[in-house]
Amino acid sequence: MNEMEIVSRGKSSTNRNVMFGLPKLGTSIIMGFADFALATLYILGYQITPFLVGVALALGKLTIASSQFFFGWISDAKYTRLGRRKPYLIIMSPVLGLSFILLLLPSLILDLNDLNIIFIWLVVWYQIFNICYGVTSPYNSWMAEQFRVEDRPRASQYQQFFGMVGMAIITAFSMVVLTSFIDKIIEDPESIPSEFLYSVIIFGIIPIVLFYLVSFLLPIEPKFKIESNLFQNLKTILKNKNFVLVTIMQGISSVATMMITAIMLLFIEVVLDFNTTEYYVAAAIMIFGILGFLYIWRKLIEKLGKKRSLLYIFLSNVFVTLLTLLGLLPMESSFIFGILFILGLAGCLGGWSLFPAIMYADIAQDDEIKTGELKAGIYIGFPSITLNLFQALSLFIMGIILELPDITVGSLQYSIGLILWGPICSLIFIITYLYTRKFIQLDFEWEKNQ
């Protein structure tokens, strides 16, 4: 491919930004539940020990590591009449939705008195779910192929806007419906309240509908020839030092962010001991906090650049996660502290969520400028290996932490691990900040010329 054959990207319209971002709504709902509330559901509701739940979730992250890499890598290989990416969206999204429904509703089929069967069910369907979640790699590869570098922060904002709406929906659902459902499971294991049943089914259908929608309405990505084969592409990206360093940075930070999303609801439920009304307020704070901070961080990226903005996000995370130590103090009312804590987490997680799509699309284009070939699929898919290995480690650590002895604080009794996870995350963010500051390049010289 010579210089004139570099993939041409026109200015993106608002409609294209919106359409591209829509599937993120569905995937954020289902993965948000898997990361944010699945541990709580199986630990408190189905009475599986925290260690076994941590093992099951860690195994799932190992599965998703290979599936996201494989489908991103293989989708580079062949250009069909539907392009490189759309066939995977059409084939895999129905199985993704079905596996989510079965993962959350074991009582449709199982006897909930047999804990061993419930654990096996969790392991099996979580693996299938994570294999099919690999569809997100072909989907995210479109960022590099359809948007100019200067348009990517806006495209990512739209994508993450829908993603955070999805996360907000699942947060509100978890805080309001799930917590009530868990109480009902404990009282009557065979009971499935209609609000939970219908919500889960709708959540499973949403990603199927949205992936099919973009498959039919988004234009096929530009056709470009890749002369190198799949193994040569893998060799090329592994020689890209900045890419390797960025994937490691994402992996290190994900140990903390994964722990935050997995334990946050449990922390609110057990340590803060919120009542139903407080859950409603907390859910609203999370929703509007996330959406507001998405805009703020996007503006900071445009003003300060990507690296400086990311460093500020990591520093914010350091201080916010330390606040779990206040759970050691008896509180007459934990409501104000809880709201501030949730708002802080919303800001930190909202800012970080903007970056992965932008980073890897930019790195893929940087490689395109150097080699003349755009290998977006493998650049998007390969980081899932390190990311999910680190996330598996995070969930394994979570399982160990939550098995630590109980302490008594005021009238409440809970594992000391529900306090210590915050300082552990804070230390991880300090390490990530120092690593990023020294080793990572996120702003490229060629951006100034485009």
Kindly tell me if the per-residue pLDDT of 247 is higher than 60.
Answer: yes
* Averaged pLDDT for residues 364-370: 82
pLDDT in tens, 351-366: 887 788 788 888 888 8
Mean of per-residue pLDDT scores for the chain: 82
Tell me which of 296 and 224 has the higher pLDDT.
296
Taking alpha carbons only, the member of 167, 329, 177, 333 closest to residue 264 is 167
Kindly tell me if the per-residue pLDDT of 89 is higher than 80.
Answer: yes
**Which stretch of 133-142, 232-241, 294-303, 374-383 has the lowest confidence by average pLDDT?**
374-383
Burial of 281 (0-12, 13-18, 19+ CB in 10 A): middle
pLDDT in tens, 177-186: 776 777 777 7
Q: CA-CA distance, 305 to 299, in Å (whole number)?
A: 10
Tell me which of 93 and 225 has the higher pLDDT.
93
Of the CA atoms within 13 Å of residue 268, those in its CB half-sphere come to 34
Q: Where are the alpha helices (DSSP H) in 174-305?
A: 179-187, 194-217, 230-238, 241-270, 276-304
Per-residue model confidence (pLDDT) at position 3: 39
Q: Averaging pLDDT over each range in 26-40, 123-137, 375-389, which range is the top one?
A: 123-137
Per cent of the chain over pLDDT 70 is 91
Q: CA-CA distance, 343 to 340, in Å (whole number)?
A: 5
Taking alpha carbons only, the member of 197, 192, 193 closest to residue 112 is 192
Interior CA angle at 348 toward 328 and 146, to 5°?
A: 155
Q: CA-CA distance, 352 to 293, in Å (whole number)?
A: 10
Kindly tell me if the per-residue pLDDT of 99 is higher than 90.
Answer: yes
* Averaged pLDDT for residues 207-223: 85
- Confirm if 27 and 167 have CB atoms less than 8 A apart: no
Kindly tell me if the per-residue pLDDT of 423 is higher than 90.
Answer: yes
Of the CA atoms within 13 Å of residue 426, those in its CB half-sphere come to 14
Kindly tell me if the per-residue pLDDT of 404 is higher than 50.
Answer: yes
Kindly tell me if the per-residue pLDDT of 56 is higher than 80.
Answer: yes
Kindly tell me if the per-residue pLDDT of 378 is higher than 90.
Answer: no
Q: How far is CA 325 from CA 33, 82, 89, 290, 429, in A?
A: 26, 53, 43, 23, 16
Kindly tell me if the per-residue pLDDT of 2 is higher than 50.
Answer: no
Strand, coil or helix: 257: helix
Per-residue model confidence (pLDDT) at position 226: 60
Residue type, 254: S
Strand, coil or helix: 11: coil
Per-residue model confidence (pLDDT) at position 151: 74
Q: Which helix (H) or strand (E) holds 90?
A: helix 86-104
* Averaged pLDDT for residues 155-167: 78
- Confirm if 24 and 166 have CB atoms less than 8 A apart: yes
Per-residue model confidence (pLDDT) at position 1: 40
**Helices then strands, each counted (H, E), the chain:** 19, 2
- Widest distance between CA atoms in the chain: 71
Taking alpha carbons only, the member of 168, 204, 143, 179 closest to residue 44 is 179
Kindly tell me if the per-residue pLDDT of 246 is higher than 60.
Answer: yes
Taking alpha carbons only, the member of 217, 287, 215, 210 closest to residue 22 is 210
DSSP lists the bridge partners of residue 409 as: 412
- Confirm if 142 and 159 have CB atoms less than 8 A apart: no
Residues contacting residue 261 through CB under 8 Å, at least 6 positions apart: 32, 35, 36, 349
Map out the domains of the chain with their CATH numbers.
12-449 (1.20.1250.20)
Per-residue model confidence (pLDDT) at position 374: 66
pLDDT in tens, 7-17: 445 566 777 77
Q: How confident is the model at residue 327 (pLDDT cuts 50, 70, 90)?
A: confident
- Confirm if 245 and 439 have CB atoms less than 8 A apart: yes
Per-residue model confidence (pLDDT) at position 10: 56
Per-residue model confidence (pLDDT) at position 227: 60
Q: How many residues does the chain have?
A: 450
Per-residue model confidence (pLDDT) at position 311: 95
Taking alpha carbons only, the member of 370, 85, 80, 77 closest to residue 226 is 77
Per-residue model confidence (pLDDT) at position 205: 95
Q: How far is CA 431 from CA 149, 207, 259, 308, 315, in A?
A: 29, 35, 16, 16, 10
